[in-house]
Amino acid sequence: GAVVSQHPSWVICKSGTSVKIECRSLDFQATTMFWYRQFPKQSLMLMATSNEGSKATYEQGVEKDKFLINHASLTLSTLTVTSAHPEDSSFYICSARDARGRFSTGELFFGEGSRLTVL
What is the binding site for another protein (CB under 8 A)?
1, 4, 6, 32, 34, 36, 43-46, 49, 91, 93-95, 97, 101, 104-113, 115
Instruction: Check if the beta carbon of residue 65 is closer than 8 Å to that of residue 48.
Output: no
Task: Please identify, using beta-carbon distances, which residue of 82 and 113 lies nearer to another protein.
Answer: 113
Q: How far is the CB of 94 from another protein (least distance, A)?
A: 8
Q: How far is the CB of 74 from another protein (least distance, A)?
A: 15
Measure Cα distances from 11 to 14, 17, 41, 73, 81 in Å. 10, 12, 20, 24, 12
Q: How far is the CB of 36 from another protein (least distance, A)?
A: 8
Task: Please identify, using beta-carbon distances, which residue of 54 and 104 lies nearer to another protein.
Answer: 104
Instruction: Show Cβ contacts of residue 61 under 8 Å, excluding neighbours closer than 6 positions.
Output: none
By C-alpha distance, which of 93, 94, 68 is closest to 81?
68
Task: Please identify, using beta-carbon distances, which residue of 37 and 88 lies nearer to another protein.
Answer: 37
